[in-house]
Amino acid sequence: MSNTVDTAFAPVTFTEGALKELFKLKDQQEISDDFGLRVGVEGGGCSGMNYVLGFDQKKEGDQEFIINGIKVFMHKAHQMYLLGMQVDWQDGLNSRGFTFSNPNAASTCGCGTSFSV
């Protein structure tokens, strides 16, 4: 039985800019196909929870999604915090990096990497 979920049911989306940067990072760092992009949350940050975004191997409790050609791992418990979130890539003079637009966040910090629900 496969643990891969159809993209139509994926809890997060990526903008074109985010996808371009993710594919670039995967290629530059020569990340093998055994790894996927981990999207999740962890306690901490000035608002209570930090976003997790990085390439990792699948772990127990993870669900696997294929989103626009990117293999994504997310622990099942994190989906309730991230459902409907969009990940974008900013490459401007004032900011550079991944940004998170999370409809579940009641508040976010100034840097945009932590939130509360």
Contact 85, 11 (CB under 8 A): yes
CATH H-level, domain 12-101: superfamily: HesB-like domain (2.60.300.12)
pLDDT value at position 51?
87
Quick one: tokens of 35?
A: 């790894």
Provide the residue ranges of all domains of the chain, joining segments of one domain with +.
Answer: 12-101
pLDDT value at position 50?
85
b (16+ CB within 10 A) / e for 92-108: eeeeeebbbebeebeeb
pLDDT value at position 10?
84
Residue segments in the chain with a per-residue pLDDT below the cut of 50: 1
